[in-house]
Amino acid sequence: MSTSKRKRECCHEKDFDSLSNKSKQICISIEQEAYNHILFEPQAFRDYLDAMIGQHPELFPADIEQGYRLHDILPESKKMPGIRLRRIQIVTSTGEQTYTVRPCFVLPYMTGYTQAVEKALFLRRWAVPHWALAYVFGRDEQYWYRLENRLGRNSLVGTTVKNPAALPENLLADEKHARFNGQKVYIATTVANDCVLGVSVSLSADAEGLTEAYGHFKAEAQDLSPDYVPKTVNTDGWTATQLAWQALFPLVTLILCFLHAFIKIRNRCKRMSDYAEIKRRVWEAYHAADPDTFKQKVAQLKTWAQRNLPQGSGLESILKLCRQASTLVQAYVYPDAYRTSNMLDRHMQPLTRYLNSWRAFHGHLLSAEYGSRAWALLHNFQPYCPRARAAQRYQSPAHKLNGFVYHDNWLHNLLISASLGGYRQ
């Protein structure tokens, strides 16, 4: 028997056409009893659908405004006995298109009932592994893995943001370091308004790789609003990240993260006897009320540091911040822009737990991509802790962003929001 190790064959390529699954399933909010009552009643079904189209047109193809007709009723599902779905037909500029109308209490691909899996998927918030879900809730490990992974085929932006007017003007972007088949990779993450709106695995940290990774956010955002261009994006100063965003949105203003500049100072100066004074002066500059005061405080910090601190990495880190003053002052031009990456870091922490539960990514690159995107959607739609202040008004970050929910249950709300894969064709 050969003792040589067999190499794992895996794909290192991903296709954006496969990544963005423009589904032909329309998901509607309806309870099972009501659905069974109208399924075989054409006029009742049409009346309910008309009411949904009038109330939530974003869940339907744009061409449905020109009218539609009831097409047929599909045979009973072999996976879920007793469940049948209706199809409708819409006349578009490219011909007739047929769409399946699925109630929210049924999972895509007829893999089960939403209520039966909701609590198990809720536990993924704390990175409970799939084998543990199988032990507690039944089925097998692959069932739960596939159930979660398929969520990543939906558009992150289109599923999370239901109104084009709610697309954020100010963004935060950074890369999370991870492992894929033993290779270092970078998860390009875009955050705004307490929601993760973009995650994509890049095999390299250069401008080309990050442009492709962050480009998925651009494509999904411009599918929702073709003219969308953010005003600002906050980055940590990594040159490739900045070049990527400038390539995607030439008019965007880059805001340098002040927190990262301070962290470098802290790491090099925390053992100095003057560290308390350094910290006070740095944050005094940050809290300056206007650009002129900011520049003045930075100039005073530079003069003080050169007079009182010894030569070395500590002094150099302070002088580097002072040299970046012309970039940091851009934040005053856009008072609503993010000056630090705190909001993004808050989302990076649960992403770290998620990656640890996987023990890094293995296999096909698209699986890693879908897994990351599925985490982002679950993160956006899973409910806040009841003790959180936001929970007093909102169900989840997606609710806070949109101002409404389609259903009181978070997973029902996610599935309805993912109608048509998050796209409006």
Q: What is the mean pLDDT of residues 104-122?
A: 96
Please indicate, yes or no, whether residues 291 and 177 belong to a single structural domain of this protein: no
386 within domain boundaries? no
Band (pLDDT 50/70/90 cuts) for residue 284 is very high
What pLDDT, on the 0 to 100 scale, is given for residue 424? 77
Domain-embedded: residue 188: yes
Distance CA 180, CA 203 (A): 9
Are residues 366 and 272 both part of a single domain? no
Residue type, 395: Q
Same domain, 347 and 231: yes
358: confidence class by pLDDT, cuts 50, 70, 90? confident
- pLDDT tier for residue 8 given thresholds of 50, 70 and 90: very low
- The Cα–Cα gap between 17 and 213 comes to 14
Residues 133 and 248 in one domain: yes
Instruction: Show which of 313, 332, 351 is a domain's final residue.
Output: 332
Q: Are residues 245 and 367 in the same domain?
A: yes
Q: What is the pLDDT of residue 13?
A: 52
The whole-angstrom separation of Cα 230 and Cα 56 is: 26
What is the domain-level CATH number for residue 139? Answer: 3.30.420.10
- Same structural domain, 247 and 367: yes
Instruction: Note whether 186 and 209 are within 8 A (CB).
Output: yes
Give the pLDDT confidence of 66-103 residue by residue, as tens digits.
899 999 999 999 999 999 999 999 987 778 899 999 99
The total number of structural domains in the chain stands at: 3
Rounded-to-integer distance, Cα 127 and Cα 387, Å: 21
98 in a structural domain: yes
Is residue 119 located within the same domain as residue 232? yes
Q: At how many degrees (to 10) do helices 141-151 and 114-122 cross?
A: 90
The yes-or-no verdict on residue 191 having pLDDT over 60 is: yes
* Residue 20 confidence (pLDDT) above 70: no
Task: Give yes or no: residues 151 and 234 share one domain.
Answer: yes
pLDDT score of 93: 73
Q: Are residues 62 and 148 in the same domain?
A: no
- Of the candidates 343, 331, 409, 22, the one whose C-alpha atom is nearest the C-alpha of residue 173 is 343
Identify the domain boundary among 48, 83, 106: 106
Residue 23 confidence (pLDDT) = 84
**What are 42-62's pLDDT values in tens digits?**
999 999 999 999 999 999 999
One domain, residues 303 and 233: no
Kindly report the number of other CB atoms within 10 A of residue 167's CB atom: 20
- Is residue 360 in some structural domain? yes
Angle, nearest 10°, between helix axes 313-323 and 275-286?
10
Domain boundary among 268, 297, 332: 332
Average pLDDT of the residues of the chain: 91
> Is residue 327 domain-shared with residue 375, that is, in the same domain?
no
- Domain enclosing residue 202, as ranges: 115-255+341-381
Per residue in 218-268, pLDDT (tens digit) is 999 999 999 999 999 999 889 999 999 999 999 999 999 999 889 999 999
Q: Are residues 217 and 348 in the same domain?
A: yes
pLDDT at 277: 93
Q: Is the pLDDT of residue 4 over 50?
A: no
Please check the confidence at residue 14 and state whether its pLDDT lies above 60: no
**CB within 8 A of 385, min separation 6: which ones?**
391
Give the H or E element holding residue 27. Answer: strand 25-28
In a domain, 401, yes or no: no
Residue 276 belongs to some domain of the structure: yes
For residues 27-38, give the mean pLDDT: 96
In a domain, 170, yes or no: yes
Dump pLDDT digits (tens) for 302-350. Answer: 999 999 999 999 899 999 999 999 889 989 999 999 999 999 999 999 9
Question: For residue 178, is it within any domain?
Answer: yes
Residue for token digits 């822009």? 337
